[in-house]
Structure 1
Amino acid sequence: MKEQSNIPTTKVERAGRFVTTGLKVGTNYIKHYTRKLMDPSINKDALHEDNAADIYDTLSSLKGSALKVAQMLSMDKGMLPKAYSDKFAMSQYSAPPLSGPLVINTFMKTLGQSPTQLYDKFELKAANAASIGQVHKAWKWGNPLAVKIQYPGVANSVKSDLRLVKPFAIRIVGMNEVDMDKYFDEIESKLLEETDYKLELQRSVELSGQCAHIPNLVFPGYYPALSSDRIITMDWLEGQHLKEFLLQNPSQEARNKIGQALWDFYQFQVHQLRKVHADPHPGNFLMREDGTVGIFDFGCVKEIPEHFYVNYFKLVDKEILKDEVQRREIYTNLEMIHPTDTEKEITFFSGLFQQMIDLLTLPFTQERFDFGNEAYFREIYDYMDYLYGLKEIKESKVARGSRHSLYINRTYFGLYSILSDLKADIITGPHRIADLMAEQTPATVY
């Protein structure tokens, strides 16, 4: 993949790229409607492909928050047209990397030494590149290391980038601006945290240590002396990303073991730690044939307020939700319905939400669940399509759902997506998390 020799860092440069892309997208729409006048049967597939390519080219060259939003959107299957989700998924681990001189410059500015001075060997060509940074392989003390380097200008451009990318997100997703305003504040706070590599290093050490007892998880060791505010050095983990792993036709046993490990990892964090690795895209996991999975990148961690946690997981309890008074109280606490709603609106939205909740919480209500059940996910995606098409949803004047639900929902959607791709058949009942919290048996930490 071609390397980038520079990244636009000023607000003017970055805004200029968005303006140019906006003009391209506008031209694509003109072409589409011109074709449609000549042939009314033409659908929007070609339009989506052209727009997805133009928008991704811009976002991948800008990197940072703009590209991160594309990555987030690509994880929500059913939200985007396939052309967008396929293209944006490239941001998970195969964005265009930075050139060698820019990498060396980052070391000199933040650690005062070049990579060759700090490590016994350092590969200038990136092993992979994503939205916020890229990873290089290095060696020291005879051990292979992964060196994560943040792109220039990322931390300083979060706020301005989100203002620029917002119109594209609104148009692609079809969501009202009032909805986007509410959640973009949450996105901004998380992205600012993701650019703080000192905070990420601290969280990486803390959370990997707390989860080390969970079977079949492997975490890297971290090296603070070889890290800075824009560089993190950790052990190199062997394994394959999900797509490559599945191409090897792994055994069902390995799929189940990895799926169980990921399920346990997330349930333990949510229910025991009240904080969670909230970036479950395939680029953050390395899978092995023996059924173990390497986990890294704790840049995005969502801390879960107690009030939100209590109400959110009451949604799993079908007996509680049978009580109309309690159900309305929970929905109100989670901001799914609002005090200003009419009785008609409350009835309408409560019914919609209840059906979606019944679908999404199904794995929690069974002792064991087969995520390879394609009919289950087809039903979810079909219902999501139905919701997005409803006039009442599109014209709603309020955002429905707490800002805290954004990253928690994203975490579970990401987890479900990976488990679906693995076709994992795993234990999901309430006794599983209780057993994990009781065992506390150390696992492998490299």
Structure 2
Amino acid sequence: MKEQTNIPTGKVERASRFVTTGLKVGTNYLKHYTRKLIDPNISREELHADNAEDIYDTLSNLKGSALKVAQMLSMDKGMLPKAYTDKFAMSQYSAPPLSGPLVINTFVKTLGKTPAELYDTFDVKAANAASIGQVHKATKWGKELAIKIQYPGVASSVKSDLRIVKPFAMRIVGMNEVDMDKYFEEIESKLLEETDYKLELQRSVEVSTLCAHIPNLVFPQYYPELSSGKIITMDWLKGYHLKEFLLKNPSQEARNKIGQALWDFYQFQVHQLKKVHADPHPGNFLMREDGTIGIFDFGCIKEIPEDFYVNYFLLTDKEVLKDDVRRKQIYTSLEMIHPSDSDKEIAFFSTLFQKMIDMLTLPFTLPEFDFGDERYFQEIYAYMDYVANLKEVKESKVARGSRHSLYVNRTYFGLYSILSDLKANIKTGLPAL
């Protein structure tokens, strides 16, 4: 893959890249409808493929929060056409890497030495490249090490990138700026945390230590003396990313063991630690044929407030939700319905949410669940598509859902997606609340 020799860091330059991409997408639409006049049978798949290529090309060169958005979208298979999710999934671990001179410059600026002075060997060619940083392989003390290096300008461009994205998001979801602010504040705070590698190092050591007792999980050791605000040094973990792992045709036993380990990992964090690794995309896991899984990258950690936690998981209690008064209290606490809603709106959205909740929480209500059941996910995607196209939903100008639900929901959607790809059959259920 071709390396990048620079990343646009100025606000004007980055904004102009977004504008140029918008013009390309507009041209693609014009070409598509011109072709369709000649041949009415032409599908939108070619249009989606062209747009996905142009958008990803821009985002992958901008990197940072711009590319992170694509990464987040790639995790939700029901949100975008397949051409987009397939292309955007590349941002998880195979984005265009930075060139050697830029990598060396980061070491000199933050650790005061070149890689050659710090390690016995250092591969200047990146092994993996994602949205916030890229990984290089090195050796020291007779160990194989993974060196995570942050892209230049990522931290300083978070706020400006989100300001550019915000108007598009408002147009898509039909909300005003005030309602969207709480979500963008949450995203901005998490993206800024992800660019703080000192914080990530601290969290990586803490969470991996607390979760070390969970069977079949493998965590790297971290080396603070070879880390900085832009560099993290850790053990090199062996294994395969999800796509590579599935191509090896692993046994159902291995799929189930990995699926169980992931489920237990997330349940322990949510219910015991009340904070969770909120970036469950396949690029952060390395799977092995013996059923073990390596986990790293604790840059995005969502701390879960107690009040939100209690009400969120009361949604899995069917007996509690049968009580209309109690259910309304829970929905109001989670900001799914609002004090300004009319009785008609409360009834409409309560019914809408109830069905969605019943579907999404099904694994929590059963002792065992088969995530290989494609009918389950097809039903979820079909219902979400139905909801998105309802007139009442489109015309609602109120942001529904607490800001805390953004990353907690994202965590479970990402986990479900991986378990679905693994076709894992695992023990689920919830601890007593």
- Give the TM-score band, short-chain normalised: over 0.9
Distance 2:303 2:328 in 1: 25
| SS in structure 1 at match of 2:173 | coil
Corresponding residue number in structure 1 for 2:353:
353
| SS in structure 2 at match of 1:430 | coil
Corresponding residue number in structure 1 for 2:173:
175
| CA 1:148–1:215: 2 relative to 1, 3 Å | same
* Offset of residue 162 of structure 1: 1.1
**CA offsets 1:143-193 (integer angstroms, 9 cap, x no match):** 00000000000000000011223345556xx32243644322211110000
Corresponding residue number in structure 2 for 1:218:
218
Distance 1:167 1:57 in 2: 21
Q: Check if 1:151 corresponds to 2:151.
A: yes
Give the partner amino acid of 1:336. M
Corresponding residue number in structure 1 for 2:367:
367
Corresponding residue number in structure 1 for 2:254:
254
Corresponding residue number in structure 2 for 1:118:
118
**CA offsets 1:383-434 (integer angstroms, 9 cap, x no match):** 1111111121111110111111010000000000000111111110235x99
Q: TM-score, normalised by structure 1?
A: 0.94
Does the CA-based 8 Å contact 2:285-2:294 persist in structure 1? Answer: yes
Corresponding residue number in structure 2 for 1:441:
none
Distance 2:175 2:150 in 1: 30
How many equivalent pairs are there? Answer: 431
Greater Cα shift, 21-30 or 126-135: 21-30
| SS in structure 2 at match of 1:429 | coil
Distance 1:334 1:38 in 2: 51
Distance 1:430 1:312 in 2: 13
* Offset of residue 202 of structure 1: 0.4
Distance 1:168 1:255 in 2: 39
Corresponding residue number in structure 1 for 2:9:
9
Does the CA-based 8 Å contact 2:275-2:301 persist in structure 1? Answer: yes
Greater Cα shift, 78-87 or 113-122: 78-87
Does the CA-based 8 Å contact 2:175-2:398 persist in structure 1? Answer: no
Greater Cα shift, 370-379 or 174-183: 174-183
Corresponding residue number in structure 1 for 2:420:
420
**CA offsets 1:296-320 (integer angstroms, 9 cap, x no match):** 0000000001111010000010000
| SS in structure 2 at match of 1:5 | coil
Corresponding residue number in structure 1 for 2:20:
20
Q: TM-score, normalised by structure 2?
A: 0.97
Give the partner amino acid of 1:264. D
Gapped runs of 5+ residues in structure 1?
Answer: 435-446
Distance 1:69 1:180 in 2: 16
Corresponding residue number in structure 2 for 1:320:
320
Equivalent runs, 1:402-421 vs 2, <5 Å: 402-421=402-421
Corresponding residue number in structure 2 for 1:283:
283
| CA 1:72–1:170: 2 relative to 1, 3 Å | farther
| SS in structure 1 at match of 2:356 | helix
* Offset of residue 42 of structure 1: 3.8
* Offset of residue 37 of structure 1: 3.7
Corresponding residue number in structure 1 for 2:297:
297
Corresponding residue number in structure 2 for 1:233:
233
Q: Check if 1:381 corresponds to 2:374.
A: no
Greater Cα shift, 397-406 or 17-26: 17-26
Gapped runs of 5+ residues in structure 2?
Answer: none
Corresponding residue number in structure 2 for 1:79:
79
Distance 2:348 2:38 in 1: 41
Distance 2:377 2:321 in 1: 23
Give the partner amino acid of 1:186. E
Give the partner amino acid of 1:273. L
Distance 1:322 1:351 in 2: 12
Distance 1:297 1:338 in 2: 36
* Offset of residue 23 of structure 1: 1.2
Distance 1:392 1:168 in 2: 21
Give the partner amino acid of 1:424. A
Corresponding residue number in structure 2 for 1:104:
104
**CA offsets 1:92-138 (integer angstroms, 9 cap, x no match):** 00000000000000000000000000000000000000000000000
Distance 1:181 1:392 in 2: 22
| SS in structure 1 at match of 2:426 | strand
**CA offsets 1:40-90 (integer angstroms, 9 cap, x no match):** 444432222211111110000000000001100111111111111111111
Superposition RMSD in Å: 1.4
Distance 1:420 1:314 in 2: 25
Corresponding residue number in structure 1 for 2:31:
31
**CA offsets 1:215-242 (integer angstroms, 9 cap, x no match):** 1100000000000000000000000001
Give the partner amino acid of 2:201. L
Greater Cα shift, 382-391 or 30-39: 30-39
Distance 2:76 2:170 in 1: 15
Give the partner amino acid of 2:115. P
Corresponding residue number in structure 2 for 1:271:
271
Distance 1:260 1:16 in 2: 46
Aligned-pair identity in percent equals 81
Distance 2:95 2:203 in 1: 25
Give the partner amino acid of 1:162. L
Distance 1:408 1:33 in 2: 40
Distance 1:19 1:302 in 2: 32
Distance 1:355 1:36 in 2: 39
Does the CA-based 8 Å contact 2:215-2:261 persist in structure 1? Answer: yes
Distance 1:112 1:135 in 2: 19
Corresponding residue number in structure 2 for 1:242:
242
* Offset of residue 245 of structure 1: 0.4
